[in-house]
């Protein structure tokens, strides 16, 4: 994929997942989420496929697990964005936020995930979904996310932090671009 344009504030994420995890042993798995805004300041949301085993029909920002083959965590975010929406990253703008969650299935060792959310600028905003993962997309305003309603579409999320992520992306988007 080659180098990704990003501010120096994101250097700690310009490393492979194994390197990051070696410095953060409290986490077992890394995943990313991507906030993309259109020229009208609306945020891209994608709806998980109805037949997804985990959280069918939930609305989310694009993203997914960081793979061992990803050059860096930032590359993983750009790859997931491309795979899920067809959008090409031109610049990683900033880290929006992060949150953790635990997978505590019976009979297995508990796994702590760290989800890192980045705002990414894209070449254009023509979305082509991967139908295996997502069934619909929309561009939502901050007010629509606050109300959990875009037109007549009710937004339901995987968990409360998923809504917080979106509101934080809107808050940061109003600020000046970091250096």
The torsion defined by the Cα of 138, 144, 149 and 153, in degrees rounded to 10, comes to -20
Digit-coded pLDDT (tens) for 98-126: 999 888 888 888 899 999 999 999 999 99
Secondary structure (DSSP) of 60-117:
E-SEEEPPTT-SSHHHHHHHHHHHHH-PPEEEEEEEEEEEEEEE--TTS--EEEEEEE
Tokens matching residue 127: 């979305």
pLDDT digits (tens, 9 = 90+) for 119-136: 999 999 999 999 889 999
pTM: 0.92
Which tokens in the block code for residue 110?
């508990």
């Amino acid at each position: 994929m080659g180098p990704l344009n990003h501010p120096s504030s994101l250097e700690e994420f310009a490393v492979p997942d194994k390197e990051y995890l070696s410095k953060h042993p409290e986490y077992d798995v890394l995943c990313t989420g991507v906030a993309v805004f259109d020229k009208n300041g609306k945020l891209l949301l994608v709806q998980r496929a109805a037949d997804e085993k985990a959280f069918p029909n939930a609305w989310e920002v694009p993203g997914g697990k960081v793979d061992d083959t990803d050059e860096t965590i930032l590359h993983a975010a750009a790859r997931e964005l491309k795979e899920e929406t067809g959008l090409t990253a031109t610049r990683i703008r900033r880290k929006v936020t992060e949150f953790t969650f635990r997978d505590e299935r019976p009979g297995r060792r508990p796994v702590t995930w760290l989800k890192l959310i980045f705002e990414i600028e894209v070449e254009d905003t023509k979305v082509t979904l991967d139908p295996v993962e997502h069934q619909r997309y929309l561009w939502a305003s901050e007010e629509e996310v606050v109300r959990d309603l875009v037109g007549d579409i009710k937004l339901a999320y995987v968990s409360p932090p998923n809504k917080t992520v979106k509101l934080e992306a809107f808050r940061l988007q109003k600020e000046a671009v970091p250096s």
